[in-house]
Amino acid sequence: MKKNTKIILIIFISLIILSVAFLVLTLFNSSRSPEEVDTRRISDLRQINLALEMYYDDHKIYPKKLEELEAGDSPYITKVPVDRISSKSYDYGTNQDNKFYILKAVLDDKSRGALKNDMDGKIFGIDCNDPAYCIDENY
């Protein structure tokens, strides 16, 4: 009887420790700074940019939609990244003959240096004015 009580007590304490660890990790994960979130967004655009360039090398045009990068027997990217805060896709547009494109992420840190070196204005129907961070095929 005492053995069963010890086992139950150990299981109970383990569950409490796991619950506390889960809560701490959840709080830590949701409290990322704007700089960290923006760095991830910029990294996502670079990853998409690389997949777009590989697609272009094979097809001599850019895809009409980013989802085309995931298609086929040998996809250019396993899963097109989305904004981890809003869960929305990054904006993407091409010109009429799909020879040029623009990719957009909205940054939280409006003073970020990357905003000084990106594309600005309205490009292929996408508003790239700050705090939008936009890159094109020449990135």
pLDDT in tens, 87-117: 999 999 999 999 999 999 999 988 888 888 8
Number of domains in the chain: 2
C-alpha to C-alpha distance for 70 and 74, rounded to whole angstroms: 8
**pLDDT at residue 38, rounded to an integer:** 93
Mark whether 58 and 117 lie in a shared domain: yes
Q: Whole-number mean pLDDT of the chain?
A: 88
Same domain flag for 78 and 120: yes
Do 114 and 128 reside in the same domain of the chain? yes
Whether 138 has a pLDDT exceeding 60, the answer reads: yes
For residues 102 and 119, state if they share a domain: yes
Helix (H, G, I), strand (E, B) or coil at 138: coil
**Spacing of C-alpha 30 from chain mean position:** 15
pLDDT, residue 3, reads: 66
Contact 62/100 with Cβ under 8 angstroms?
Answer: yes
Cβ–Cβ under 8 Å, residues 48 and 103: yes
Does 65 lie in the same domain as 4?
no
Residue reference for tokens 């990322």:
32
Do 6 and 58 fall into the same domain? Answer: no
Q: Is 17 in the same domain as 69?
A: no
Which residue, chain included where needed, has tokens 């970020």?
112
Q: Is the domain of 72 the same as that of 127? A: yes
| Structural domain containing residue 68 | 34-136
Q: Are residues 57 and 25 in the same domain?
A: no
**Residue 60 and residue 1 in one domain:** no
Shared domain for 9 and 60, answered yes or no, is no
Using the predicted structure, report yes or no on whether residue 1 has a pLDDT greater than 70.
no
CA 21 centroid distance within chain: 26
41 and 109 part of one domain = yes
Would the pLDDT of 11 be above 90? no
Strand arrangement, sheet containing 91-94: 91-94, 101-106, 132-136
- pTM of the prediction? 0.74
**90 vs 131: CA distance, rounded Å:** 14
